[in-house]
Chain A
Amino acid sequence: MTAYLGRRLAQALLQIWGAITIVFIALRVLPGDPAELILGSQATPEALEELRGSLGLDEPLLVQYATHMRDVVALDFGHSWRQSVSALDACLERLGSTLSLSAWAMVITIVLGFAAGSFAARRANTWADHLVSVSSLVGQALPPFWIGIMLSLIFARWLQILPSTADGTMVSLLLPAFTLALPFVGWLARLVRTGILEEMNQDYVRTAHAKGMSHRVVFSVHVLRNTLVPVVTMLGLLMGYFIANGVIVEVIFAWPGIGSLLIDSITFRDYAVVEAVLTVITVCYILLNLLVDVLYVYLDPRIQLENA
Chain B
Amino acid sequence: MTVNVRGATLAGRLAGLPLRAHLALGTVLLFVLAGLLGPLLAPYDAARTSPVDRLLPPGTRLSDGAMAWLGTDQVGQDILAEVLAGMRTSLTVALVTVAVGGSVGLLLGLLAGYFGGWADGIISRVGDIQLAFPSLLLAILLAGVLGPSMVNVIIALAVTRWVIFARVVRGSALAVRDREFVDSARVMGASHARILAGYILPSCLPPLMVAATVQVGLTMVAEASLSFLGLGVPASQASWGSTIAEGRDYLASAWWIAAVPGAALALVVVSIGVLGDLLRDASDPMTEL
Contacts and interface: CB of A to CB of B under 8 A. Distances in A.
B273 interface: yes
Interface string B223-249: 011001111000000000100100110
A152 B251 CA distance: 9
Given A37-B145, A142-B270, A266-B140, A150 B262 contact: yes
A184 interface: no
B265 interface: yes
A22 B270 contact: no
Interface majority SS on B: helix, strand, loop or mixed? helix
B142 interface: yes
A299 B265 CA distance: 41
B199 interface: no
Interface in B130-181: 130, 132-134, 136-138, 140-142, 144-146
Interface string A232-250: 0000000011001101100
Contacts of B265: 143, 146
A157 B252 contact: yes
A289 B132 contact: yes
A146 B244 CA distance: 8
B266 A22 contact: no
A164 B138 CA distance: 28
Contact of A262 (B140, B241, B270): B140
B284 interface: no
Name the residue in A144, A157, A266 with the highest tally of chain B Cβ atoms < 10 Å from its Cβ.
A266
Contacts of A262: 137, 140
Nearest to A156: B251
B92 to A, nearest CB: 18
Nearest to A152: B251
Given A30-B145, A267-B230, A149 B244 contact: yes
A21 B241 CA distance: 30
B215 to A, nearest CB: 13
Nearest to A283: B132
A26 B145 contact: yes
A31 interface: yes
Contacts of B266: 141-143, 146
Contacts of A150: 259, 262
Interface string B186-225: 0000000000000000000000000000000100010011
Interface of B: 125-126, 128-130, 132-134, 136-138, 140-142, 144-146, 217, 221, 224-225, 228-231, 241, 244, 247-248, 251-252, 255, 258-259, 262-263, 265-266, 269-270, 273
Given A30-B142, A145-B228, A146-B265, 18 more contacts: A14-B129, A19-B132, A26-B141, A27-B141, A30-B146, A37-B145, A141-B269, A143-B221, A143-B224, A143-B265, A146-B262, A150-B259, A153-B258, A164-B251, A244-B136, A247-B136, A248-B228, A263-B229
Interface of A: 11, 14-16, 18-19, 22-23, 26-27, 30-31, 37, 137-138, 140-146, 149-150, 152-153, 157, 164, 240-241, 244-245, 247-248, 251-252, 262-263, 266-267, 274, 278, 281-282, 285-286, 289
6 contacts: A141-B217, A150-B262, A157-B251, A245-B136, A278-B137, A281-B134
